[in-house]
Amino acid sequence: MAEPGTDPVWKKSACILCSINCGLEIQTGGKNNRELVKIRGDKDNPSSRGYLCNKAQRLNYYHMGRDRIDTPKRRRPDGSYEDVSWDVAIAEVAAGLKKVKDSHGGDKILFIGGGGQGNHLGGLYSDGLQKVLGVKFRTNALAQEKTGEFWVAGKMFGGGPHGDFEHAEVAMFLGKNPWHSHGFPRTRVVLKEIARDPNRSMIVLDPCATDTAKMADFHLQVRPGTDAWVLSAMIAVILQEGLQDKAFIAQHTEGFDAIRDHFLQLSVGEYCAISELDEDLLRRAARRLATARSASIFEDLGTQQNINSTLVSYLHRVLLVITGNFAKKGAAHIAISLLSVTEASKGEVSGTTKKPRKKKVSPVLGSKVITGLLPCNEIPDEILTDHPDRFRAAIIESANPAHSYADSARIRAAIRALEFSVVVDVAMTETARLADYVLPAANAFEKHECVFFQIDYPRNTFHIRRPVADPLPGTLIEAEIHTRLIEALGALKPRHVRLLRTAAKLGRRPFSAALLGLMRLRPEVKKVLPSLLYRTLGTTLADGEAAATAPFWGLCHQFVRKNPLAAANAGFAGSPWQAGERLFDTLIGSPSGMVFCDAGSDYSETWNRVGRAGRRIQLHLEELFPRVANLQTDLLANPAEFPFVLTAGQRRAETSNTIIRDASWDKKAKATRLYMHPKDASSLALKSGDLVKITTQTGSGETHLLVTEHQRPGCVSLPNGLGVDYDGGDGSSVRIGIAPNDLTASNRKDFFAGTPWHKYVPARVEKLQDAATTAV
Ligand SMILES: Nc1nc2c(c(=O)[nH]1)N[C@H]1C(S)=C(S)[C@@H](COP(=O)(O)OP(=O)(O)OC[C@H]3O[C@@H](n4cnc5c(=O)[nH]c(N)nc54)[C@H](O)[C@@H]3O)O[C@H]1N2
Ligand SMILES: Nc1nc2c(c(=O)[nH]1)N[C@H]1C(S)=C(S)[C@@H](COP(=O)(O)OP(=O)(O)OC[C@H]3O[C@@H](n4cnc5c(=O)[nH]c(N)nc54)[C@H](O)[C@@H]3O)O[C@H]1N2
Ligand code: SF4
Ligand SMILES: [Mo]
C-alpha cells in the first residue's frame, strides 16, 4: 500500500491470458503486499497502447491461486506427494532422466509444453536441457491447432503470413471469434472500427451468431465441418466471374494452372447446399473480398480443430493469393521476428543448430512431425504400447495436457505408464497430480518474462517485462530450475562459468571474445548457451536481477546482423556490434516494451521472407489438392445416438484456457453452461437452467443449460478451460463445469496434421433435473 501523501506505484507488466499480452500497469498490496490489487492498461506499451479486455481484471486469481505449489514434490507409491528440498529434487530428477537416457536413449524422453500464453522465457532454458539429454521429440498446444497451418504456409510461402486487420478493407474471420478470443492487438477497437466504417466490411464464417458474427456485414452461418466447401465455392465464384488478380497470379505465383479447372468446373450451388448457405450471400461475400483494395483472413480453432482442417488452411491461402492479398497494406505479410515462433517450437532458439533436418516421423505411429512437434492426439499411442521405441519419460513444463489434450483419460493413463515424469508448473494441476516429481515455478508476475508471437508489420514490437512481486517463497524461476538440472547432469562446467564471469566483469567486448573462444574450443557448450549466458553475463544485468534475459543478448546481436535495415529504421544503426548492444540494452531497459524493427513503408519488402524459389507462392500443393478436388461428406454423418455436433471448448468472455484455476469470481457458474438453440431445447423439453447430461463416444459430463438464439440448431457448445480440479481450501478438490477433453477422442483427428476435431464431437443431451429444482 502507498504511504499517505505518496503516489501509489504502478508497476509495468503484461497480461498473460492470451497471446496478445497487452501491457499492464499494476498496483500491488493486500496479503503480504503481493496481491495484484489494481490493474489498468499501459498506454506506453507500443503494441496495446492502453488497451485491455475484461479478463485482465481477474489476474489476481491466477497470481494468488490456492493451488500454487511452494515446494518440490515427490510422488509416493500410493499416489500422494511428499515435500522434498530443492537439492534432493534436482538430484533425483536429473538421475531419473539420466537413467532413461542411459537405458533407452534420450529420444525416448518426450518434452511437452515450453510456454503458455505469456511465459516464454523458460522455453529458452529447457531447450538446453533437452539438448543435453538428447531429447528428439517435443509437443505442445500448437500441435493441436496450428501445425496444419504452419505446414501449408511453409509449403506455399516458405514463411508464416499474418493479416493486417487494422488496415484491411475487408476482414474475414474463419472459425474465429476475435471479440472474445482476440488474436491481434487492440482487437475490439479494430473490430469496432471496421464495423463502423461504411467502406470496410467484415465476413465471418461461423455456425453460431457470435459477438463477432453480429458485427459482420456477411455472416456465413456455415453448417459445422463444411468450411472446405464454403472456401472452395468462394474461390469458384471468383474464378468463374474472372475477379482474380491476374497480374499478381502471373507475376508472383506458380501452380495456378494445375488448380484452376477444378474451381471453374465446380457447382457453387451444390457446394452451398452442402454447407447449408444461401448462395447469393456467399457470392456477394466472395465478390466483396475479391474487389477490395486489401483483405486479411484469420483462421482459428473453428476450422483448425475440425474436419478437413489442413485443407481449409490451404484453401484459405488460395483465396488470399488469387485475390492478390499479400505484401501490401491491409493484406498478409511475413513479419520480421526477434524470436522465430516455428524455430522456437523446434527448440532452436539459441541459434546454435542450423543444419537442415531430416524429415522426422513419430517413433511408434510414424506420423508427421510438423515444425518439430508431435501431434498431441498421438501421445497416448506413442506411450501405451509395447513398441520398443515408445516414449519412456516426459518433461512437462507450462502445459496441462491431462486437461487440454484430447481424451483426458487416455492421456492420464499414458503419463502414468511412463517410467519417469516431471512437471514444472506454478499450480498443482491435473497433470502435476500424475507426475513422479513436481517442481514449483515462480509465476509470470514474479520474474522477468517475455512475449512470443511478434506478428506486427511493418513495425514490430517486443516486450521483456519485470517482476511486479517477489517469487512465492519456495519457488524458482525456470531459468534456475533448468540450469540446476543441466549442472546436475554435468553439462555446465564450473571452470567455464568462472572464466566467462571474469570476462563479463571486464565488459561485453571481452565477454564476447571469451565466449567465442570457448565455443570454438569446446563446441559442446553451445548446447547449453542460454544457461551459460544466465550464469555469466546474467550476473551483470541489473545486479543479477535480470539474469534470465541474458540469452537475448545473443539474439539481439544475431537480429541486427540478419536485419540491418529494419533494425536501423527502428533506431538501432551503427556497426553491428553497436547496434546489437543498443538493441539489447533498449530491450531489457524498456519495461513497457519497444519497437525492435521497422520494415519501412514499402510493403513489398515482405517478399524478402518468402522462402521459395524465385520468391513465388506455390498454389498447387500436390499432397492436398487431390483431396480438395474430391471433398467427401461421409465424415459429417453422426451416429444416430449422437444427434448433436458439440463444440468442445469455446472461447467465452469468462475463459482463459486453464491459466486461472480459481473460478470463485464466477459465483453463479455462468461460464460453465452448455449452449443450445431454442428449437432443439423445445424438442427435448429443456429450458435454461435445467441440469443436463451430455454424452459422447468418449465420456459424459453434467452442467446447466443456456438456451440461446445465438447457437446454431443441431449444435451445442461448451466452454474451454473449465472443469479443472481446484483446491477447495480444506483438502477437498472442487470441479466447476465440464472438462471438455473428458468428451473428446484421440483418434478423431486430421488425416494430415493429426490435429483434433474438438469442434465436431458427436453428442447427445438429456435432462437430469428441472431448473425449478436446481439452484443456478
Ligand atoms: N476469452 C478467451 N480468449 C482466448 C482463449 C481463452 O481461453 N479464452 N484462448 C486463446 C487461445 S489458446 C486460442 S487458440 C484462441 C482461439 O480462438 P477462437 O478460435 O476464436 O476460439 P473458439 O471459440 O474456440 O472457436 C472459434 C469459433 O469457431 C466456431 N466454430 C465451431 N465449429 C465451426 C465450424 O465448423 N466452422 C467454422 N467456421 N466455425 C466453427 C465457434 O462457434 C466459435 O465461435 O483464443 C485465445 N483467446
Ligand atoms: N477440447 C478442447 N481442448 C482444447 C482446446 C479446445 O478448444 N477444446 N483448446 C486448445 C488450445 S487452443 C490450447 S492453446 C490448449 C492450452 O492448453 P495448455 O497448453 O495445456 O495450456 P494452458 O491451459 O494455457 O495451461 C498452461 C499451464 O501453464 C501453467 N503456468 C502458468 N504460468 C506459468 C509459469 O509462469 N511457469 C510455468 N512453468 N507454468 C505456468 C498453468 O498453471 C497451466 O498448467 O488447450 C487446448 N485444448
Ligand atoms: S486477455 Fe484481454 S487483456 Fe489479456 S492479453 Fe488478451 S486481450 Fe489483452
Ligand atoms: Mo491455443
CATH number at residue 434: 3.40.50.740
Q: What percent of the chain has pLDDT over 70?
A: 96
Q: What is the pLDDT of residue 664?
A: 82
Q: What is the pLDDT of residue 347?
A: 43
Give residue 142 CA to ligand 1 midpoint distance, Å. 14
Give residue 486 CA to ligand 4 midpoint distance, Å. 30
Q: Is the CB of 655 under 6 A from ligand 1?
A: yes
Report yes or no: 47 and 31 within 8 Å, Cβ to Cβ.
no
Report yes or no: 337 and 454 within 8 Å, Cβ to Cβ.
yes
> Are 328 and 195 found together in one domain?
yes
The residue nearest atom 2 of ligand 3, judged by CA position, is: 53
Give residue 413 CA to ligand 1 midpoint distance, Å. 28
57 within some domain: yes
Q: Is the CB of 659 under 6 A from ligand 2?
A: yes
pTM, 2 dp = 0.96
Q: What is the pLDDT of residue 774?
A: 54
Q: What is the pLDDT of residue 357?
A: 56
Over residues 548-563, mean pLDDT: 96
Q: Which of 568, 570, 289 is nearest to 457 (CA)?
A: 570
How far is Cα of residue 277 from the mean position of the Cα atoms in its chain? Answer: 31
- Cα–Cα distances (Å) from 313 to 144, 308, 309, 404, 616, in that order, read 14, 9, 6, 22, 19
Q: What is the dihedral of CA 237, 240, 244, 249, to 10 degrees?
A: 120
> Are 352 and 277 found together in one domain?
no
Q: Is the CB of 297 under 6 A from ligand 1?
A: no
The pLDDT tens digits for 208-253 are: 999 999 999 999 999 999 999 999 999 999 999 999 999 999 999 9
Query: How many structural domains compose the chain?
Result: 4
Could you give the maximum distance between any two Cα atoms of the chain, in Å? 78
Boundary of a domain, candidates 378, 413, 440: 440
Q: Is the CB of 176 under 6 A from ligand 1?
A: yes
**Long-range contacts at 252-257 (CB < 8 A, ≥ 24 apart):** 252/321, 252/326, 252/615, 252/616, 252/617, 253/321, 253/616, 253/617, 253/618, 253/619, 254/614, 254/616, 254/617, 254/618, 254/619, 254/620, 255/618, 255/619, 255/620, 255/621, 256/322, 256/619, 256/620
The residue nearest atom 30 of ligand 1, judged by CA position, is: 302
Give residue 127 CA to ligand 3 midpoint distance, Å. 27
> Are 25 and 104 found together in one domain?
no
457 within some domain: no
pLDDT beyond 90 at 328: yes
The pLDDT tens digits for 416-463 are: 999 999 999 999 999 999 999 999 999 999 999 998 887 889 999 999
Pocket test for ligand 2, best of 55, 146, 398, 758 (most atoms within 8 A of CB): 398
Could you count the other beta carbons within 10 Å of the beta carbon of residue 336?
27
pLDDT beyond 50 at 370: yes
165 within some domain: yes
Give residue 142 CA to ligand 2 midpoint distance, Å. 11
What are the helix (H) ranges across 139-241? 147-157, 178-181, 187-196, 227-240
Binning pLDDT at 50, 70 and 90, where does residue 339 land?
Answer: confident
Give residue 228 CA to ligand 3 midpoint distance, Å. 30
Q: Which domain holds residue 657?
A: 638-773
| Strand 73-75, strand 437-440: pairing | antiparallel
For the CA of 400, the nearest atom of ligand 2 = 20
Binning pLDDT at 50, 70 and 90, where does residue 776 land?
Answer: very low
425 within some domain: yes
Which DSSP string corresponds to 476-487?
Answer: B-HHHHHHHHHH
> Are 198 and 315 found together in one domain?
yes
Could you count the other beta carbons within 10 Å of the beta carbon of residue 175?
25
> Are 311 and 420 found together in one domain?
no
The pLDDT tens digits for 510-541 are: 999 999 999 999 999 999 999 999 999 999 99
The span from the CA of 196 to the CA of 191, in Å, is 9
Q: Is the CB of 145 under 6 A from ligand 1?
A: yes
> Are 408 and 263 found together in one domain?
no
The residue nearest atom 35 of ligand 1, judged by CA position, is: 224
For the CA of 478, the nearest atom of ligand 2 = 38
First-residue to last-residue Cα distance in the chain: 37
Q: Is the CB of 108 under 6 A from ligand 1?
A: no
- CATH of residue 681's domain is 2.40.40.20
Q: What is the pLDDT of residue 352?
A: 36
CA-angle at 374, arms to 97 and 15, nearest 5°:
85
> Are 85 and 119 found together in one domain?
yes
User: Residue 64 corresponds to which cell in the numbers above?
Assistant: 494468488
Q: What is the pLDDT of residue 204?
A: 98
pLDDT beyond 60 at 757: yes
Q: What is the pLDDT of residue 351?
A: 36
> Are 298 and 387 found together in one domain?
no
For the CA of 187, the nearest atom of ligand 3 = 7
> Are 176 and 101 found together in one domain?
no
The DSSP symbol for 719 reads: E
Q: Is the CB of 657 under 6 A from ligand 2?
A: yes
For the CA of 20, the nearest atom of ligand 3 = 5
Q: Closest-lying ligand to the alpha carbon of 444?
A: 2
Report yes or no: 299 and 313 within 8 Å, Cβ to Cβ.
yes
Report yes or no: 317 and 153 within 8 Å, Cβ to Cβ.
yes
505 within some domain: no
Give residue 521 CA to ligand 1 midpoint distance, Å. 50
Binning pLDDT at 50, 70 and 90, where does residue 666 land?
Answer: confident
Q: What is the pLDDT of residue 253?
A: 98
Q: What is the pLDDT of residue 435?
A: 98
Give residue 560 CA to ligand 1 midpoint distance, Å. 36
The span from the CA of 409 to the CA of 471, in Å, is 33
The residue nearest atom 5 of ligand 3, judged by CA position, is: 21
Which residue has better confidence, 465 or 357?
Answer: 465
293 within some domain: yes
- CATH of residue 48's domain is 2.20.25.90
386 within some domain: yes
The pLDDT tens digits for 149-173 are: 999 999 999 999 999 999 999 999 9
Boundary of a domain, candidates 593, 628, 663: 628
As for ligand 3, residues whose beta carbon falls within 6 Å of it are: 15, 17-18, 20-22, 52-53, 55-56, 182
The DSSP symbol for 8 reads: P
Give residue 656 CA to ligand 2 midpoint distance, Å. 9
Q: What percent of the chain has pLDDT over 90?
A: 90
The span from the CA of 181 to the CA of 185, in Å, is 11
Boundary of a domain, candidates 440, 459, 480: 440
Q: What is the pLDDT of residue 1?
A: 46
Is the sign of the CA dihedral 265, 617, 309, 718 positive or negative? Answer: negative
Q: Closest-lying ligand to the alpha carbon of 408?
A: 2
Q: Which of 371, 376, 350 is nearest to 359 (CA)?
A: 371
Over residues 375-383, mean pLDDT: 98
> Are 180 and 230 found together in one domain?
yes
The residue nearest atom 8 of ligand 2, judged by CA position, is: 649
Q: Is the CB of 203 under 6 A from ligand 1?
A: no
- CATH of residue 324's domain is 3.40.228.10
Query: Please, what is the average pLDDT of the chain?
Result: 94
647 within some domain: yes
The span from the CA of 263 to the CA of 234, in Å, is 9
Binning pLDDT at 50, 70 and 90, where does residue 205 land?
Answer: very high
Binning pLDDT at 50, 70 and 90, where does residue 349 land?
Answer: very low
Q: Which of 271-285, 474-488, 600-614 has the lowest mean pLDDT?
A: 600-614
User: Residue 534 corresponds to which cell in the numbers above?
Assistant: 544466465
> Are 171 and 305 found together in one domain?
yes
Q: Is the CB of 180 under 6 A from ligand 1?
A: yes
For the CA of 14, the nearest atom of ligand 3 = 5
Report yes or no: 43 and 80 within 8 Å, Cβ to Cβ.
no
Q: Closest-lying ligand to the alpha carbon of 39?
A: 3
> Are 288 and 372 found together in one domain?
no
Q: Is the CB of 380 under 6 A from ligand 2?
A: no
The pLDDT tens digits for 71-104 are: 999 999 999 999 999 999 999 999 999 999 999 9
